[in-house]
Amino acid sequence: MINLINIISAPKGGGAELLVRELHEIYTNRNLHVHAIYLDGNIEDLKENEVVLGVNPRSPLNVLRIRKLCKELSGRTKDELIVHAHLTWPFFYVALASLGLSNVRLIYTEHSTTNKRRKIPLLWVIERLLYARYTRIICISQGVYDSLANWVGPNISERLVTIPNGARIYSLAKRLPLEKRLPRLVSVGSLTSRKNFATAIHAIAQLRNEIDSYTIVGEGPERRDLEHIIESEQLEGKVKLIGWFDDIEVHLGAADIQLIPSLWEGFGLVAVEGMSTGLPVVASNVDGLREVLDESNSSVTFISQADSVQDWVSGISKAIADLHSRGAESLAQSSRQQAEKFTLAQMAERYLEIYQQ
């Protein structure tokens, strides 16, 4: 019997949080003994065995809280307790909380190709000690695997395994032809510097007469800076920051092209979700996204220099021209076929194999 806890900082916020909730639901429906623990966050639709502790994710006291949970849940069964940590603070605290607990196995999922911790001198010494506490470290793409293997060294690299993320596969959208209208563009992601929406907005300023609108679905600390760019470029009628929506399918289905201007990505969950609706994609040519989107895919336009406004102007123009010359239906089929390679069910099965090992 699988006896599993997933621990993450919050139930909402990005791809990692979404995957924890989706995996929990899949395994619960299969009658596996699973729990999902969120250190903080607001959520109205808690499912069976989902718990929000309501504490500061950064608090060192979480070591004691997690240790208490591990003791309680491991004591209910003779089976080993698998504790699966996600993101920075659970990574630190789970590794420390489990010290001396004999009936607990640790798994960690690495969700990004880089992070701020790797820029701190000599921190790799401490991090290798913490990574060594984990029996398996799951990397969500080959790019993440290569980056982490270089960071942790050859001994710990033997514990790394690559399992591509799964994503929600939405319905193929029916879009109106572009003969008598301008294309609508969409992006989905947190309003942070690594998502690089500022560059995309500056590119839209040069293409204002060629597009109907550019909608960004997401929230974050860069909102004010982006609003200032929109105002200075006089794009109030073209670019919309609409905040975060749980039901992003509506916005993906209403668009004609998806932009993903990220400076780096571990995987690119929104790329799969967008392509599942038939959207062609213009994206930064970075690890993670490159693997998910596939350079040979006719519905994808890659941008070599993610921070180059002019490259984005050229890339978006090309995507619009492709819609007219190749047709939306043809591009939609290419996108859909690529998206179906990354389902949640496939990911759940591969995770289950790791747990069973």
Q: Is-contact 326 299, C-beta < 8 A?
A: no
Tens of pLDDT, residue by residue over 218-244, are 999 999 999 999 999 999 999 999 998
Of 122-126, 161-165, 261-265, the least confident:
122-126
Q: What does the pLDDT read at residue 346?
A: 93
The domains of the chain, with CATH numbers, are 3-166+343-356 (3.40.50.2000), 184-339 (3.40.50.2000)
CA count, 13 A, side-chain hemisphere, 71: 10
The pLDDT of residue 45 is above 90: no
Q: pLDDT-based confidence at 122, cuts 50/70/90?
A: confident
AA letter at 171:
S
Supply angle C-alpha 301, 305, 308, rounded to 5: 105
Alpha-carbon distance of 308 to 192, in angstroms, equals 17
Query: pLDDT > 70: what percent of the chain?
Result: 100
- Using pLDDT thresholds of 50, 70 and 90, give the confidence band for residue 268: confident
Confidence at residue 244, expressed as pLDDT on a 0 to 100 scale: 86
Per-residue confidence (pLDDT) for residue 280, from 0 to 100: 98
pLDDT of residue 245: 83
Residue 1: what pLDDT? 76
What would the pLDDT profile of 168-221 be if each residue is shown by its tens digit?
999 999 998 898 899 999 999 999 999 999 999 999 999 999 999 999 999 999
Average of per-residue pLDDT values in the chain:
94
SS (H, E, C) 51-118: EECCCCCCCCCHHHHHHHHHHHHHCCCCCCEEEEEECHHHHHHHHHHCCCCCCEEEEEEECCCCCHHH
What percentage of the chain exceeds 90 in pLDDT? 83
Instruction: Tell me what pLDDT residue 230 has.
Output: 98
**8 Å CB contact between 266 and 164:** no
